[in-house]
Chains A and B, each alone.
Chain A
């Protein structure tokens, strides 16, 4: 199918899901029920950055649905397609916010879900100094655990911060990838919509470090494109929803590299079927150059390995 149509289909699906879930939540909890992510001063960060408005109740979220609708204009052009991608991001944030409204702890270990302001502030310095040279979002399912581990460990060895979304989390666990903030591998959640928690990190970087005013969406997008060196690896069959979320990533300036056959867009949406080359392809697409400190150690050496035990069979 035509790429833009796929995006619009996914964006409409996300919208329908957000509307459905919100309706259910309102029925269950009442329209004035409180909405918030824990430990953040930025309310629902994406909606806040995009509109300047803070979301406090489920009723406010009904208003946010209007924002989503206004972002979906099904014209066969890049601009509306990217906007539809942003619409999906907003829908996802609504869905995730409702999760937190319905349940105090919707995420349990190993999944992190929402990331706190404190963690983002702690990441600020290493991101600026290049100690964290990039942010990888690995999403979906690899053909096998080994492949998943190889890709993730490659990023880990280069000091990148890697977020995991979907089945790849289980694959990483199965292949004994060491995780945790200090190891720079953070599983977010199993639902596609949980990818929003890394978008939220990028957007809050723009709010916190970029000092960009809430409501100035175009400036936030400029900031994330220029200053947050993130990219997405989408593995396994791509649903329309994932494709439209990918468009959201591209709108923020983050290229998407997938193992699936898609209509490619140079530097922004690429197909790389050779998993060994996924990291190099991704880094090149995002323009990430690794500061190599030549150290005569024959194994992957990076800050992310601090505290790793050496297993017997290694």
Chain B
């Protein structure tokens, strides 16, 4: 029998095999049971939007059903499904951003949530023309938070953060009527337009999707990132370790999984609480070992160097180690499978958010008003659970990798200051990076983001793509589960510059960075938008002119679709490693992979083979360089 390889990550492979042997169900088993996926769904050809349906359209033209009962064509059905995916993705990031804005609104000098980065707050206040003279910083914060909260439902005008884009980009949006209004409105409009008997123009539905996606990247996500930085600090470079080998045999292992830093930040504090540490000793543990999973891991590793336990496909495997006292989750990308699975071990599966209750889990609602106390109660639960650990079942893989993380835009700038000649330039800008790109020492930059997906070998797409890019002097910035794949594969250690081409390796040496930069969680892709906007402004071009590309090699979520769409809409070509459910419509495929370029200057590319994708990305980068005539003019700071 042919042996299926699940992952390029030895830890994942080892634990997945262990599960197989012990008959413990994982996502790969459920994938197998699913057999061949439904061809209609795979191509996007089925519709369940009303009760006249479900309807499904024959993939063969002229044979079988060509229209739904209402008369919707394949193009319309697929466009509606796509738009709804974008709306859902936008909704998750936006609700996340909204929550963080609320947290800033409740921040108090003597409260659990405080302002950590006043400078970032003041900059934002200035950007939004909030009075700052002679005012209490908390009053400023509350006003800024209120403005942000109004971005979600303001009746008039367009999003404030859209103004951060270069002028050329803004006029592209203006010309094409893509400038997004209130965040929630865009989401609601899609839900409206995709109702039975509403919008039946495929092209217009894609357009609506593009517009709504900006409400994610330049709206909800950007608010999430900005406000998280203000509250919890702007990330700076720090060392950490990644993979399930970070679990400790003799400590209480707590994994935070999910997305929102308002919870995980408090967990970090609670895990350091002397009383709880004492309690851990009393139950026979040497300490409390907090690690993270998925985007929550990214948030706390970026700001505190908390160790990364793993990415999406590893959440079940963490339980399989038998060494995890509690998995504490909030929202998004949490497999409900954890509920039955944790029942086979002593692991407590604790949900905390009213937005994501899971049957079979222990729900301990995290109350932001008494955040730290809430977090301590949850940690206490975990500590007390240590004594239930069955040592016979414990199996912690040895493997973990060293990584340097924490590359916010601000941190990148301060690293770049190392190479600024004080006789020539002021520090604090991206000019050195722009120079390196313009001169050709670095050919371009790629953002590699997104999830895991059992349709592809775990982490293979991420790691191979990144390796190929850095080898060709393309600097890689990454977020989300892609970033964790890179961390585990050692691409975020400074040593990894050996894998880079000479140009990139030289820059890494001079600037003292790894060739793959961890820029944070999925909402932190907004950092990448800020980065490319500033680069474009320095080079006096549009974002779509930059030798910059994006990729989501192993995407799976609707969030990833929203992200991909706003990245393309922002002018960056994006490669998908997993085919989206749109292939049933030639018109939609043509818009996404071709015509979009005429509208927003970028398009989607679908290429499951990461090596081929890398070559295509590099070719695209070279084309853009050629078109720009890089570089005759010096960059002006």
Contact = CB atoms under 8 A, between A and B. Distances in A.
Interface of A: 1-4, 76-79, 81-82, 261-267, 269-272, 277, 280-281, 284-285
A1 B632 contact: yes
Interface string B598-637: 0000000000000000000000001001000111111100
A3 B631 contact: yes
Contacts of B438: 263-264
A82 B439 contact: no
Contacts of A3: 439-440, 631
B440 A78 contact: yes
Contacts of A284: 421-423
A255 to B, nearest CB: 9
Contacts of A270: 421, 424
Contacts of A263: 435, 438-440, 630-632, 634
12 contacts: A2-B632, A76-B625, A78-B501, A262-B634, A264-B435, A265-B441, A266-B421, A266-B510, A271-B424, A284-B421, A284-B423, A285-B421
Contact of A82 (B423, B502, B630, B634): B502
Contact of A271 (B416, B473, B501, B634): B634
Given A263-B439, A265-B435, A284-B421, A78 B632 contact: no
Given A281-B423, A285-B421, A264 B635 contact: yes
B419, B422, B503, B507: which has the most chain A beta carbons within 10 Å?
B503
Residue of A76, A263, A269, A272 with highest tally of chain B CB at under 10 A: A263
Contacts of A82: 502
Contact of A2 (B423, B424, B473, B631): B631
Contacts of B443: 76-77
Which of B422, B435, B625, B629 has most chain A Cβ within 10 Å?
A: B435
B125 interface: no
A77 B635 contact: no
A77 B630 contact: no
B432 interface: yes
A82 B633 CA distance: 21
B494 interface: no
B499 interface: no
Contact of A77 (B473, B510, B511, B629): B473
Contacts of A264: 435, 438-439, 634-635
Contacts of B142: none
Contacts of B424: 270-272, 277, 281
B578 to A, nearest CB: 31
A76 B439 contact: no
A267 to B, nearest CB: 5
Given A2-B630, A76-B443, A266 B502 contact: no
B510 A267 contact: yes
A2 B629 contact: yes
Contacts of A265: 435-436, 439, 441
> Chain A contact residues: over half helix, strand or loop, or mixed?
mixed
A277 B435 CA distance: 20
Interface residues of B, number: 33
Contacts of B122: none
A272 B632 CA distance: 16
Contacts of A81: 440
A77 B438 CA distance: 12
Contacts of B473: 77-78
A44 to B, nearest CB: 26
Given A261-B634, A270-B424, A284-B421, 5 more contacts: A77-B472, A267-B419, A267-B510, A272-B423, A284-B422
A269 B633 contact: no
B394 interface: no
A77 B501 contact: yes
Contacts of A285: 421
A78 B510 CA distance: 14
B506 interface: yes
Nearest to B433: A266
A237 to B, nearest CB: 15
Contacts, number: 84
A263 B633 CA distance: 7
Contacts of B419: 266-267
A2 B502 CA distance: 18
B420 interface: yes
A228 B634 CA distance: 29
A263 B207 CA distance: 39
A1 B629 CA distance: 7
A266 B501 CA distance: 17
A78 B424 CA distance: 23
A303 to B, nearest CB: 25
Contacts of B416: 266
B420 A266 contact: yes
Contacts of A281: 421, 423-424
Interface in B170-224: none
A165 B167 CA distance: 46
A285 B418 CA distance: 11
B420 to A, nearest CB: 7
A265 B630 CA distance: 13
A127 B584 CA distance: 73
Contact of B506 (A4, A76, A78, A272): A78
A281 B424 CA distance: 7
Closest A-B pairs by Cβ, 5 of them = A78-B503, A79-B502, A266-B419, A263-B439, A281-B423
Interface string B448-474: 000000000000000000000000110
Interface in B491-524: 501-503, 506-507, 510-511
Contacts of A280: 423
A78 B472 CA distance: 10
A266 B435 contact: yes
A2 B440 contact: yes
Contacts of A272: 423-424
B413 to A, nearest CB: 13
Interface string B399-433: 00000000000000000100111111000000010
B355 to A, nearest CB: 46
Which of B420, B423, B634 has the most chain A CB atoms inside 10 A of its CB?
Answer: B423
A78 to B, nearest CB: 3
A249 B219 CA distance: 48
A266 B503 contact: no
A277 B425 CA distance: 12
A280 B424 CA distance: 10
Interface in B141-162: none
Nearest to B634: A261
Contacts of B472: 77
A9 to B, nearest CB: 14
A224 B423 CA distance: 25
Contacts of A261: 633-634
B441 A78 contact: yes
A37 B21 CA distance: 75
A82 B505 CA distance: 14
Nearest to B473: A77
Contacts of B440: 2-4, 76-78, 81, 263
Nearest to A265: B439
Contacts of B633: 261
A2 B424 CA distance: 22
A81 B502 CA distance: 10
B439 A269 contact: yes
A311 B432 CA distance: 45
Nearest to B622: A76
B435 to A, nearest CB: 5
B101 to A, nearest CB: 37
Contact of B432 (A79, A262, A266, A271): A266
A169 B630 CA distance: 34
B501 A79 contact: yes
A271 B423 CA distance: 11
